[in-house]
Each structure stands twice: as structure tokens, then as C-alpha cells.
């Protein structure tokens, strides 16, 4: 049997691979994470990395026991006797909040902004836009309930995707209120759905008593048809005065910053620790669902995980989904940067010397070399193929004189440069690679 990658996963490949698309390009992934790093770190976020697997109990508390993720989609790693086991992380927030609590990060200046990226895992049906191993960029803020924090988080998410060149995106903004608002809303939902219990899916019948808001997020077409038929009122109609004031403050900041959004009453977060602001970032052409990612406030999560009451808010987007949207919009990547210089020996005797010169340059620039001797024409073609700014040749004459024969690939200009002066010469001219080498 031919070797194959696991279903629902992708290899991320180097440039030059056959039929290379953005969502399998290693450089495209790096472009997204580099762009996110630049935008988020300019906004004061610090990078953090957490394990790929966490305690199963942490994930159940962090994601919610009634969610499909916990009930159907978790990858169990292993068990130790009576230990609850470990699972591959299905999302990043729970582990990040755990790290915040366990490592005393509350002692750092608040609000503490953190970001991370990496693979997440869900054992779900594979379809366009849905993988079993996918990758996310994740941004979290802990230590402030100020609506200004919410607005800034949304603004930063939009800034990242805009920096990647995406234009066909839309913020859908909602609020899920405070716990007492949700209690009132859940009572309304139970009253509304109970007479139609037989028409609900098995999952939604199960949710009706435990977590009615999750019915509104059902993947069942029958459930969604019933919701529309009953004209179920949105959570926004049940917001209390404080939650409504918070929502309007967030909108006010976004309006003043000219962040485009639409109010979407259908956005829900059904777990008890979620509070107030919730949003999604959508794109019309990426597959099973149009969401690139989303976020929300989770002021009760730290306490649910055994820590002190700590307000928090965060968002994540799927890197594969972002790259799929970039493909749809016809966006490419910045041109790959080749080596500053490619060094070739003209005979076997001087291949080690070419290697030694290249290695000596690498503390200051990218330098490649040929592992076998090459004729000048072949060396220049190889330098061009690699995208080198300069190509240097070393033959018997150059070795005896302690020089290289250097060619600027764009202009074609050539000159002899002493090996001891090569680094400084290249650095001076790399600032303007079109200026030649005269």
C-alpha cells in the first residue's frame, strides 16, 4: 500500500513543489504567521506557546461539555489509570488561560495581551474548509473588562487579514449578555421549543434542558428550519442594561475607528463563562461555512478553571481558511528572497574553499554554495535559478590571489573582490541591489 498522509491533514511544502497552492505552501503559512506577529506585537501582544495536548478535564471545562467538540470530536492521547486522560488540543484558549493561571502571569502588567499559533485537532468529517489537523492564529487579552479592549481585539483581527491583502471579509457582531440575561433567554427558549420537541434533532433535544442556546448553533437543517418557522427572538432582545451599554460602547469605538461590521443577532456562545461581546469574521467563498474565525469575551473562564475571577477576551482564525480566502481573491505571496550570493568553485580542488567563504558570510547574510565544481555558465545559471543577487566564482587564479570573481546578476557587471573584503562589499551594495558593483 502506498504511503499517505492521514485523512484530514495536509503537508506544507517548500517553494518549487509541483502543483503548489497557498494552503499547502510552507512559505504561505509563514507569511500569515509573520504578518500576524508584526501586527499583534505592534499592538502590545507577547508570543506564548502551550503544549499540543492538555488534560481532558481542562478542555471539557474550557470548551464546554455540551459542545460537539467535546462530545464527538476530541482526539484522546492516552490514559493513566484513574487519570482523566489527555487530549490533543481542539482550540487554543483553554490552554492559554491555564498557562496564565499556573505560571502567575497575573503579576505582569494588565491587561496582558498574548498571541500564539499552531496546530489544533478535531476528529470530524472532512470537507472543504474542515480538517482534522488545522492551524490557528490565536489572540487573547486577560485582566480587563473594558469595552475598549473588545473593540481593539476586533480591530486587530481586521488589521491582520487586511495586512494579508484580503478585502472580501465582513465582521458580524453580537452580544450574549450577562449570566442573568442568558438565564432569562434560556427560559424563553425552553418555553418556545418544548411544544415542538419531536421536531428537534437528538442533539438539540439533549441541549434543551442543559443548554438551550446551543440549539441556535445547531448544524441540523431541520433545527434551523424550525428556528426560522418559530421566529425565535435573538439574544440581543434580552440584554440587560449593563450588557447593552457595553455592546453600544464597543460599537461606538468601532464606528469611530471606521471598522465596518454588521450586527448579527444569531451569534451565540452557549457556555456559562462567556459574557457580552461575540463576533465572527466571514468570507463568502471558503467552503462549508464562511467563517474565517471569531472571538468573544469569556470573563468566567478563569474561575471555571479553578483560578480567580479574571476577565478575558480573545479570537482565533484558521490559517488554512485564510489561505483559501486569499486563493479565492487571487492574492499571492511576496516574492521569495534568494541568497545574497551563490558561490561556485570551477574545479573540485576549490569546492571546500567556496564552502568556507560561504559559511563565513552566513552570520550577516544568506549565502549558498555549490557542492560540485561548475563551469562559469552553469554557475551563473544556478545563481539565477536560486534567485541570488550575486554569483561568485573561485578558480585557481582566484584561490591564488585570495579573491572571488563576483557578478551582479541583475546588471551583469563583474569585478574581482578580495575574500577579506567580500562581506563588507556585499552589505554595502545589498541595500540597493540594482546599483551594480562598480
- Do residues 310 and 415 share a domain? no
Kindly state whether residue 15 falls inside one of the protein's structural domains: no
pLDDT in tens, 60-112: 765 665 555 555 566 566 655 555 688 888 888 888 999 999 999 999 999 99
Contact 105, 112 (CB under 8 A): yes
- Do residues 314 and 429 share a domain? no
**Domain end call among 298, 328, 358:** 328
Please determine, for residue 288, whether its predicted confidence score (pLDDT) is greater than 50. Answer: no
Contact 407, 380 (CB under 8 A): yes
Residue ranges making up the domain that contains 276: 22-177+239-328
pLDDT score of 67: 55
**Domain end call among 266, 293, 328:** 328
Beta-strand pair 261-263/275-283: unpaired
- Do residues 250 and 399 share a domain? no
Kindly state whether residue 402 falls inside one of the protein's structural domains: yes
- Do residues 89 and 167 share a domain? yes
The more confidently predicted of residues 282 and 133 is 282
Kindly state whether residue 407 falls inside one of the protein's structural domains: yes
- The residue-averaged pLDDT of 151-166 equals 95
- Do residues 122 and 263 share a domain? yes
pLDDT in tens, 220-238: 888 888 888 888 888 899 9
- The residue-averaged pLDDT of 409-425 equals 94
Kindly state whether residue 136 falls inside one of the protein's structural domains: yes
The whole model's pTM is what? Answer: 0.84
- Do residues 395 and 311 share a domain? no
Least confident piece of the model among 55-59, 154-158, 265-269: 55-59
Domain CATH number, residue 254: 3.30.930.10
Kindly state whether residue 192 falls inside one of the protein's structural domains: no
Kindly state whether residue 112 falls inside one of the protein's structural domains: yes
pLDDT score of 94: 87
Query: Considering only CA atoms, which of 174, 213, 127, 162 is closest in space to residue 317?
Result: 162
Mean pLDDT of the chain: 87
Grid coordinates standing for 297? 469575551
| CA pair distance 119, 302, nearest whole angstrom | 23
pLDDT score of 206: 81
Query: Considering only CA atoms, which of 188, 263, 267 is closest in space to residue 230?
Result: 188
The more confidently predicted of residues 215 and 165 is 165
- Do residues 279 and 375 share a domain? no
- Do residues 290 and 412 share a domain? no
**Domain end call among 258, 293, 328:** 328
pLDDT score of 182: 87
Please determine, for residue 407, whether its predicted confidence score (pLDDT) is greater than 70. Answer: yes
pLDDT score of 227: 86
Q: In this structure, how many other beta carbons lie within 10 angstroms of the beta carbon of residue 371?
A: 11
Kindly state whether residue 365 falls inside one of the protein's structural domains: yes
- The residue-averaged pLDDT of 309-315 equals 94
pLDDT score of 208: 83
- Do residues 27 and 84 share a domain? yes
Kindly state whether residue 216 falls inside one of the protein's structural domains: no
Three-state SS for 25? strand
- The residue-averaged pLDDT of 193-217 equals 83
- Do residues 30 and 155 share a domain? yes
Per-residue pLDDT band for 319 (boundaries 50, 70, 90) equals very high
pLDDT score of 272: 65
Phi, psi of 341 (to 5 degrees): -150, 145
Looking at the structure of the chain, the number of domains it has is 2
pLDDT score of 287: 47
Per-residue pLDDT band for 416 (boundaries 50, 70, 90) equals very high
pLDDT score of 373: 96
- Do residues 255 and 403 share a domain? no
Beta-strand pair 275-283/53-55: unpaired
Q: How far is CA 97 from CA 271, 344, 427, 436, in A?
A: 16, 52, 45, 53
Domain CATH number, residue 385: 3.40.50.800
- Do residues 112 and 32 share a domain? yes
pLDDT score of 367: 96
Amino acid at each position: 500500500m502506498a504511503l499517505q498522509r492521514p485523512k484530514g491533514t495536509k503537508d506544507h511544502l517548500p517553494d518549487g513543489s509541483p502543483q503548489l497552492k497557498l494552503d499547502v505552501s510552507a512559505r504561505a503559512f509563514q507569511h500569515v504567521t509573520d504578518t500576524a506577529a508584526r501586527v499583534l506585537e505592534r499592538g502590545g501582544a507577547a508570543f506564548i506557546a502551550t503544549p499540543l495536548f492538555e488534560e481532558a478535564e481542562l478542555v471539557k471545562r474550557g470548551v464546554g461539555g455540551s459542545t460537539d467538540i467535546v462530545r464527538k470530536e476530541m482526539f484522546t492521547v492516552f490514559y493513566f489509570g484513574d487519570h482523566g486522560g489527555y487530549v490533543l488540543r481542539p482550540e487554543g484558549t483553554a490552554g492559554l488561560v491555564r498557562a496564565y493561571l499556573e505560571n502567575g502571569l497575573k503579576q505582569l502588567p494588565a491587561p496582558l495581551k498574548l498571541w500564539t499559533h499552531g496546530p489544533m485537532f478535531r476528529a470530524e468529517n472532512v470537507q472543504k474548509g474542515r480538517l482534522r489537523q488545522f492551524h490557528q492564529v490565536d489572540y487573547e487579552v486577560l485582566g480587563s473588562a473594558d469595552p475598549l479592549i473588545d473593540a481593539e481585539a476586533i480591530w486587530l483581527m481586521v488589521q491582520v487579514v487586511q495586512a494579508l491583502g484580503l478585502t472580501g471579509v465582513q465582521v458580524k457582531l453580537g452580544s450574549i449578555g450577562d449570566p442573568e440575561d442568558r438565564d432569562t433567554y434560556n427560559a424563553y427558549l425552553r418555553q418556545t421549543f418544548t411544544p415542538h420537541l419531536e421536531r428537534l434533532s437528538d442533539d438539540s433535544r439533549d441541549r434543551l434542558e442543559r443548554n438551550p442556546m446551543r440549539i441556535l448553533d445547531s448544524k441540523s437543517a431541520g433545527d434551523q428550519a424550525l428556528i426560522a418557522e418559530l421566529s425565535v427572538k435573538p439574544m440581543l432582545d434580552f440584554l440587560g442594561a449593563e450588557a447593552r451599554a457595553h455592546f453600544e460602547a464597543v460599537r461606538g469605538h468601532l464606528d469611530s475607528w471606521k471598522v465596518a461590521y454588521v450586527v448579527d443577532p444569531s451569534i451565540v456562545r452557549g457556555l456559562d463563562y462567556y459574557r457580552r461581546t461575540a463576533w465572527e469574521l466571514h468570507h463568502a467563498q471558503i467552503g462549508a461555512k464562511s467563517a474565517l474565525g471569531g472571538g468573544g469575551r469569556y470573563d468566567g473562564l478563569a474561575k471555571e478553571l479553578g483560578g480567580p475571577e479574571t476577565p478575558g477576551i480573545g479570537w482565533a482564525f484558521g490559517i488554512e481558511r485564510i489561505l483559501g480566502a486569499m486563493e479565492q481573491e487571487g492574492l499571492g505571496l511576496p516574492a521569495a528572497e534568494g541568497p545574497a550570493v551563490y558561490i561556485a568553485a570551477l574545479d573540485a580542488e576549490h569546492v571546500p574553499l567556496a564552502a568556507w567563504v560561504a559559511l563565513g558570510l552566513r552570520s550577516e547574510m544568506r549565502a549558498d554554495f555549490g557542492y560540485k565544481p561548475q563551469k562559469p555558465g552553469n554557475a551563473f545559471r544556478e545563481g539565477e535559478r536560486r534567485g541570488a543577487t550575486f554569483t561568485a566564482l573561485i578558480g585557481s587564479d582566484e584561490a591564488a590571489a585570495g579573491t572571488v570573481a563576483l557578478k551582479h546578476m541583475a546588471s551583469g557587471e563583474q569585478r574581482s573582490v578580495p575574500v577579506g573584503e567580500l562581506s563588507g562589499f556585499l552589505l554595502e551594495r545589498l541595500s540597493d541591489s540594482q546599483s551594480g558593483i562598480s
